[in-house]
Chain A
Amino acid sequence: MARFLLRRLIFAILLIVIVSSGALFLTRLAPGDVTANLGAFAPPEEVARIRARFDLDRSAAAQWGGWALRAIRFDFGDSFLYNRPVGGLIQRAAGNTAVLAVAALSLATLLGIPLGIISGSRRGVAPMLIRGASLVCLSIPPLLTSLLLVFAASRTGWLPAGGMTSVNAVDAGWSSWVLDVVRHLPLPAIALALPIAATFERLQSQSMAETIHQPFVVAALARGVTWRRLVIGHAWRASLRSMCAIYGLAIGALLSGSFVVEYITAWPGLGRLMYEALRARDIYLVAGCSAMGGVFLALGSLVADLLLFAADPRVREGQSA
């Protein structure tokens, strides 16, 4: 177990370092730099000053070296766009994305798994409808879902059409802030969750259908176990294995910030921040966002592996050998 965790840790660190360094170099190599944001009328002294501030006057390798050394001490540099240290910006954006990811994942799980169980263990109209709905949800990408939802929200006024908090939450206490965020969550969360819920449903359904035909199920039926108990108690557990692997992937993808959904619904998360940083060539912010993305990815695969561990005794046996 310890060896496993150690390997995971090394993998995570490697991932974060490579991803953020890669992003740093990419941004450095890109045409134009952060001073383009000053507009064309900026005095040359100011341009030179900004370039020096972001180490753009040193070579790419030297810049990376300086950045890496500071990063070890958790100093990720400054952002030009926001004129603040990158660390704080990333923290807040990552938090927002995490909130969205958790909401979307919960929604997807609550929708997808039960529906998958139903459609995999029964016959008739309900499974057909569920299958059809899944297919449709799989086929509408979040880009389109979020556009449609924002449009519907703005026309009906039921839910806020974007953003994470409304303006009236300025003075509000903690509880009303939470309520406000909860009102803004459904739009991006639904847009993100639908395809994932559909994937969960499909996989759970397939897995369920396979498990139903296993000998132990027939044996249990013969023993007199009720169908419901069988489905929920036994068959489902056995079908968990493939679910866990996908779950890990889903976590990682979500946590890296669903870029398009955040863009369209103006959710102030990591995806949106990264996009702005890339466009503005705000080099340290890009590196910071990528590093955070790497952290989430590593976390995602770790959680997936742990889930697998917990769910499947076969894996556990294998590990301790």
Chain B
Amino acid sequence: MKKTGRALLIAIVLVAAGAPLLAPNPPDRQFTQYLFAPPTHVRLLDGGLTAPYFFPLRIVNRLERRFEEDENRPIPIQWFGNGHLLSVSEGEDAPLLLLGADSYGRDIFSRLLYGARASLGLAALATLAAMIFGAALGGIAGYAGGAIDELFSRLSDFVLVLPATYVVLALRAVMPLVLPAQTVFLLLAGIFALVGWPVVARGVRGIIASEREQEYVAAGRAAGAGSLRLLTKHLLPAAKGYLTTQATLLLPAFILAEATLSYVGLGFPDTVPTWGTMLHDASNVAMLGEAPWMLAPAAAIFLVVLAVNLLVQGSGRSPVQLEP
């Protein structure tokens, strides 16, 4: 199971990194003739896997979202053309929509891939920040002991008790409601790191505190090593295992937090493709029956969380935070 989880996670990260190559269309290109279009029916019959093709869609009734295929004009799909894995040739205006199009005519599949970059990127940045901050503070507290440790424990206990979703919500809601995408990215990374560091710090502190009593530390001190050197070179590496596991747990929690915020409209602006904003587009639940492919980002989030859960199976850690 661990292997499956790791493989899945690596696959997702690779797909996210390779989004410009794998996505057939740019994520913000609006195909005005294809609003709410269903997924393209790729045909393999005549050409087989090497020369798939599809028929372009013609609008029958926009309001009723009825399309029909123009069977007189098969459009070939190229492998590795124009720098994309799958694409249509340059001149064609009929797009390849593997997962259909949203209300602006944008390719959902491409947005999903680019959205992986945004969501995973944000989560990764926030996790890194939480790791660094948490390890530093936890390490210092664990090493110093005494009053500093006591203060630190009180502080992190307090923050840990608070429900993360609400803290994130409150911190975001008190910022200006409409911000440009880059600002939102940094702001969310900061907020997530702020909420995530105590979890890390607590564990690191525990490990450091117990490691501190070990003989090799006393030996090091006797040899004249300073506290900083002891911390960084010897004690913190002991927490490496814990840190890696914790990192894998924080990642899906942050992805989920971004999805929640964007879903209620407090995350990224709608134009930016992230899994959260795509879910926001799908929030008109009454319409989901007409266009179930809009729930693709839900499936993507599910896969990431599943991968992480598989990975931490049996490592004794409690799986993804209980935060509803």
Asked whether A and B interact, the reply is yes
Interface residues of A (CB under 8 A from B): 15, 18-19, 23, 26-27, 29-32, 135-136, 138-144, 147-148, 150-151, 154-155, 161, 192, 195-196, 198-199, 202-203, 206, 246, 249-250, 252-254, 256-261, 263, 271, 274-275, 278-279, 286, 290, 293, 297, 301
Shortest beta-carbon contacts, A-B, top 10: A30-B174, A139-B306, A278-B173, A258-B324, A139-B305, A256-B163, A144-B298, A26-B174, A151-B288, A142-B324
Q: A246 to B318, Cβ gap below 8 A?
A: yes
Residues of B near A140 (CB, < 8 A) are 302, 305
Distance (whole angstroms) from the CB of A191 to the closest CB of chain B: 8
How far in angstroms is the closest Cβ of chain A from B314?
A: 8
Pairwise interchain contact B285-A254, C-beta atoms closer than 8 A: no
Closest to B289 in A: A155
Query: Please, how many angstroms separate the alpha-carbon atoms of A138 and B1 in the complex?
Result: 15
Cβ A15 vs Cβ B158 within 8 A = yes
Task: Pick the contact of B324: A30, A198, A254 (CB < 8 A).
Answer: A254
Give the total of B residues in contact with A, Cβ under 8 Å.
Answer: 42
When distances are taken between beta carbons in the complex, the residues of chain A under 8 Å from B165 are 259-260
Bound-complex Cα distance A196 to B285 (A): 25
Nearest CB on A from B160, distance (A): 9
Known contacts A195-B322, A260-B165, A271-B166; 4 further A-B pairs (Cβ under 8 A)? A15-B161, A135-B310, A246-B318, A293-B166
Contact with A along B148-186 (1 / 0, CB 8 A): 000000000010011101100111011111000000000
The docked-state distance in angstroms from the alpha carbon of A6 to that of B310 is 42
A to B CB contacts below 8 Å, 15 in the list = A135-B306, A139-B320, A140-B302, A143-B260, A147-B288, A151-B288, A151-B289, A154-B286, A203-B318, A250-B322, A253-B324, A257-B166, A259-B169, A260-B324, A278-B174
In the bound assembly, the distance between CA atoms of A199 and B323 in angstroms comes to: 11
Q: Is the CB of A279 within 8 A of B306?
A: no
Cβ contacts B302-324/A at 8 Å (1 or 0 each): 10011001100100101110111
Give the Cβ gap from A10 to chain B, nearest Cβ, in Å. Answer: 12
Q: Which residues of A contact B161 (CB under 8 A)?
A: 15, 252, 297, 301
**Nearest opposing residue in chain A for B324, CB measure:** A258
Return the CB mask of B14-46 against A: 1 if under 8 Å, else 0. Answer: 000000000000000000000000000000000
Q: Is the interface of B mostly helix, strand, loop or mixed?
A: helix
B321 (CB) vs chain A CBs: closest residue = A253
Is B10 interfacial (CB 8 A cutoff)? no
Q: Does B264 contact A (CB under 8 A)?
A: yes
Contacts of A196 in B (CB 8 A): 322, 324
- Which B residues are in CB contact (< 8 Å) with A286? 170
Of the candidates B163, B170, B302, which one forms a contact with A139 in the assembled complex, judged by CB atoms under 8 Å apart? B302
Contact of B170 among A26, A249, A250, A297 (CB under 8 A): A26
Chain A residues in 8 Å Cβ range of B166: 256-257, 259, 271, 274, 293
A135 to B161, CA, bound (A): 25
Structural contact, A263 and B264, CB atoms closer than 8 A: yes
B136 within 8 A of A: no
B163 near A143: Cβ-Cβ < 8 Å: no
Q: Are A138 and B305 in contact (CB under 8 A)?
A: yes
> Is B295 in contact with chain A by the CB < 8 A criterion?
yes
Q: B112 on the interface (CB 8 Å rule)?
A: no
Which residues from chain B contact A271 at a C-beta distance below 8 Å?
A: 166
Given A19-B162, A144-B302, A260-B165: A151 and B323 interface contact (C-beta under 8 Å): no
Q: What separation, in Å, do the CA atoms of A18 and B167 have in the docked complex? A: 13
Query: For residue A136, which residues in chain B have a CB less than 8 angstroms away from its CB?
Result: 306
Tell me how far the C-beta of A200 lies from the nearest C-beta in chain B, rounded to whole angstroms.
10
Q: B113 at the A/B interface (Cβ < 8 Å)? A: no
Choice from A135, A139, A155, A260 contacting B260 with Cβ under 8 Å: A260
Q: Is A202 touching B263 in the complex (CB atoms < 8 A)?
A: no
Residue of A15, A138, A154, A252 touching B309 (CB-CB under 8 A): A138
A34 to chain B, nearest CB (A): 13
Q: How far is the CB of A209 from chain B (nearest CB, A)?
A: 10
